[in-house]
Amino acid sequence: MNHYFKVEITLRYILKRRQKYFNYFQNKLCDIIFNNLPNNNEWEEINQLANSYATLCISNGLSMRYVFSHLCMLLRITNYGVRTVREQLLYVTKMLYEDCRFTCVFSLSYKGEQFISNAIPSNISIDNTVINPPSSPHRLKISIETRASDYISAAFSAQQVLCKFLNSNQFKFAPQIDDGCTTIRLGSTAHKNEVNIVEHIHFLTSKSGTIFSKSEFHPEEVFDVLDDTSRNYWERSLRYHFLANDTCNLEQKFLSLWIALESLFVNISGNIIGKISEIVPLVYATTSLKYRLLYLKNLLIENRIHIPNANVSAGTPSPVFYDSISDSEFLHLISSERDAEGLFNTLGDMNHLKYRVRKTSELFSDKQAIMRQIEKSKIDVKHQLNRIYYFRNLIAHAGYNQGIPLQLITHLLDYVYSTYYALSVAAKTQADDKNVSLQKLFFTYSVGCDYFMDNLENSMSFPLDDINCLTPTIV
């Protein structure tokens, strides 16, 4: 039997058992959390189960913002009512997986006397009774019925339906959709929410939506050292990044980000896709290493955790983590077994932070762990690039418009930013040269990665004292 048929049959079987998998994750999480105080191995299992459960929720259409907003239902005791902690967890997880009926109401303006369409789907209703002031564009409201797990996902889903409906009416009426949408969850008690879809879509490609939100790269430094041909491709990439951030259309946002990435590799010898698959995973795996460390640092600052072993006088409380602690100082603390253990012991019952401290300390206190993480990241990125390229081909060659997984857009944005950052780092070493190609900058960064891996394997001593030791050595 063809291997593809075997995979297809297996996946169809799994999809039919989706509810059973959901129940398994739910009950397994409850059992391991409420059985006893979890040990180290059980915390690892909780993390794996939680990641799988979050993936299941997102693949079911849940928006990530909605998932995180439900944390308050677990963190605030007033939301529990008469339910126990276990009952509350089951209640919240059930809500996350519910498939609810929504009516989404959009307002739009159009040209012409009256908006008339001969082919209106059964889930769409049009209200032409909106009063239009004199000399103003004609306006109307369109209601769309849809099913979704949450109101944000419902708004996105309904917008896709609306856009498809308006495609055939664009030439006669030139409709313009308002930014906002009113969602009404139907049931015994209707719940109404206002959703600014444009704001949500813009966030997908904003710098604050990536793991590199606090990184600094300087496009002008790259521009100054490039030769004329490479400078042209660099400008094209920045242009399409701008277009990706500017558009409210998901397909255009996705394609523009891909063009921003691919245009950097056009003038490099060899197959473009092969070069992207070779360079981008390496770039992301090395540039993201530092931000795994800074993620924990920011968590400790936000939670005002006390600094262990701080030099203070007797009777004076130790200071809390704050922004002015340098990244190198924090790296030394977390890569020191004694200091990391001291930090772990100050966290009391904040088990989520304890787990994160332990995992981060294990990563940055062992060179083999760092090397394994880099290799794992490279493999993960290659898999995501394959998925991204698949959807790129569907859109570019077949006009696909059935919806793009939103997490793929955020992944692609991360890869664009990490590539920009790597080029910026490499350009700093070529400041005296004004005729450098993009290929040379990529090669310079790749050689720096080789130096970094060699130093990590043969020369790096722990605890680590300099944040720069986690980045490629560019010479």
Q: Please identify, among 145, 180, 200, the residue that sits at the C-terminal boundary of a domain.
A: 200
Q: What is the pLDDT of residue 292?
A: 86
Q: In 3D, which of 381, 464, 469, 366 has the Cα closest to residue 419?
A: 381
Mean pLDDT of 449-456: 87
Q: Please identify, among 165, 184, 200, the residue that sits at the C-terminal boundary of a domain.
A: 200
More confident residue, 273 or 54: 273
Residue 175 confidence class, pLDDT cut points 50, 70, 90:
confident
Q: What is the pLDDT of residue 140?
A: 85
Same domain, 110 and 170: yes
The answer to whether residue 75 scores a pLDDT higher than 90 is no
Q: What is the pLDDT of residue 386?
A: 93
Q: In 3D, which of 111, 172, 119 has the Cα closest to residue 136?
A: 111
Mean pLDDT of 362-373: 91
Q: What is the pLDDT of residue 244?
A: 92
Q: What is the pLDDT of residue 434?
A: 80
H-run or E-run covering 446: helix 438-458
Residue that has been written with the tokens 């997490």 in this structure: 407
Same domain, 229 and 315: yes
Residue 254 to residue 407: CA distance in whole angstroms: 11
In sequence order, what are the residues at sequence separation of 6 or more whose Cβ sits closer than 8 angstroms to the Cβ of residue 81?
Answer: none
Same domain, 337 and 387: yes
Q: What is the pLDDT of residue 312?
A: 44
Same domain, 330 and 372: yes
The answer to whether residue 314 scores a pLDDT higher than 50 is no
Same domain, 155 and 236: no
Percent of the chain with pLDDT over 90: 25
Q: What is the pLDDT of residue 216?
A: 65
Same domain, 318 and 449: yes
Whether 199 and 209 have beta carbons less than 8 Å apart is answered as: no
How many distinct structural domains can be found in the chain?
Answer: 3
Residue 437 corresponds to which amino acid? S
Residue 353 to residue 359: CA distance in whole angstroms: 10
Phi, psi of 34 (to 5 degrees): -100, 0
Q: Which residues of 259-288 are buried (b: 16+ CB within 10 A; e: fewer)?
A: bbbbbbbeebeeeeeebbbbbbbbbbbbbb
The answer to whether residue 187 scores a pLDDT higher than 70 is yes
Q: What is the pLDDT of residue 443?
A: 92
The answer to whether residue 41 scores a pLDDT higher than 80 is no
The answer to whether residue 214 scores a pLDDT higher than 60 is no
Whether 378 and 285 have beta carbons less than 8 Å apart is answered as: yes
The answer to whether residue 209 scores a pLDDT higher than 70 is no
The answer to whether residue 211 scores a pLDDT higher than 60 is yes
Same domain, 170 and 24: no
Residue 238 confidence class, pLDDT cut points 50, 70, 90:
very high
Least confident of 35-49, 242-256, 349-363: 35-49
Task: Kindly report whether the peptide bond that precedes residue 463 is cis, defined as omega within 30 degrees of 0.
Answer: yes
Whether 100 and 148 have beta carbons less than 8 Å apart is answered as: yes
Give the pairing type, strands 138-148 and 100-110.
antiparallel
The answer to whether residue 64 scores a pLDDT higher than 80 is no
Whether 298 and 429 have beta carbons less than 8 Å apart is answered as: no
Q: What's the start-to-end Cα distance of the chain, in Å?
A: 53
Q: What is the pLDDT of residue 131?
A: 61
Same domain, 74 and 118: no
The answer to whether residue 7 scores a pLDDT higher than 50 is yes
Mean pLDDT of 16-43: 73
Count Cα atoms within 13 angstroms, Cβ side, for 423.
31
Average pLDDT for the chain: 82
Residue 356 corresponds to which amino acid? R
Residue 460 to residue 455: CA distance in whole angstroms: 6
144: phi > 0 → left, psi -120 to 50 → alpha, else beta; which? beta
Alpha helix ranges (H) inside 303-405: 327-335, 337-345, 351-364, 367-398
Q: In 3D, which of 384, 109, 416 has the Cα closest to residue 243?
A: 416
Q: What is the pLDDT of residue 441?
A: 93
Whether 251 and 395 have beta carbons less than 8 Å apart is answered as: yes
Q: Which residues of 126-135 are buried (b: 16+ CB within 10 A; e: fewer)?
A: eeeeeeeeee
In sequence order, what are the residues at sequence separation of 6 or more whose Cβ sits closer than 8 angstroms to the Cβ of residue 358?
Answer: 40, 43, 340, 344
The answer to whether residue 364 scores a pLDDT higher than 80 is yes
The answer to whether residue 239 scores a pLDDT higher than 80 is yes
Alpha helix ranges (H) inside 146-216: 151-167, 170-173, 197-204
Same domain, 172 and 248: no
Dihedral angle, C-alpha 358, 364, 368, 369, nearest 10 °: 40
Same domain, 132 and 193: yes
Domain that holds residue 61: 3-96
Same domain, 75 and 168: no
Other Cβ atoms less than 10 A from the Cβ of 178: the count is: 14
Q: What is the pLDDT of residue 383?
A: 93
Residue 240 confidence class, pLDDT cut points 50, 70, 90:
very high
The answer to whether residue 231 scores a pLDDT higher than 80 is yes
Mean pLDDT of 31-55: 72
Mean pLDDT of 57-68: 66
Q: What is the pLDDT of residue 373?
A: 93
More confident residue, 407 or 391: 391
**Number of H helices and number of E strands within the chain?**
19, 5
Residue 427 to residue 421: CA distance in whole angstroms: 10
Q: In 3D, which of 89, 33, 75, 64 has the Cα closest to residue 355?
A: 33
Q: What is the pLDDT of residue 406?
A: 80
Q: What is the pLDDT of residues 110-148, one digit of tens each?
A: 876 666 666 778 888 888 766 666 556 788 889 999 988
Count Cα atoms within 13 angstroms, Cβ side, for 18.
11
Q: Please identify, among 96, 114, 136, the residue that sits at the C-terminal boundary of a domain.
A: 96
Max avg pLDDT among 39-48, 364-373, 460-469:
364-373
Same domain, 240 and 331: yes
The answer to whether residue 53 scores a pLDDT higher than 80 is no
The answer to whether residue 38 scores a pLDDT higher than 70 is no
Q: In what order do the strands lie in the sheet with 124-127?
A: 124-127, 138-148, 100-110, 176-185, 191-196
The answer to whether residue 76 scores a pLDDT higher than 80 is no
The answer to whether residue 183 scores a pLDDT higher than 90 is yes
The answer to whether residue 460 scores a pLDDT higher than 60 is yes
Tokens of 100: 């609810």
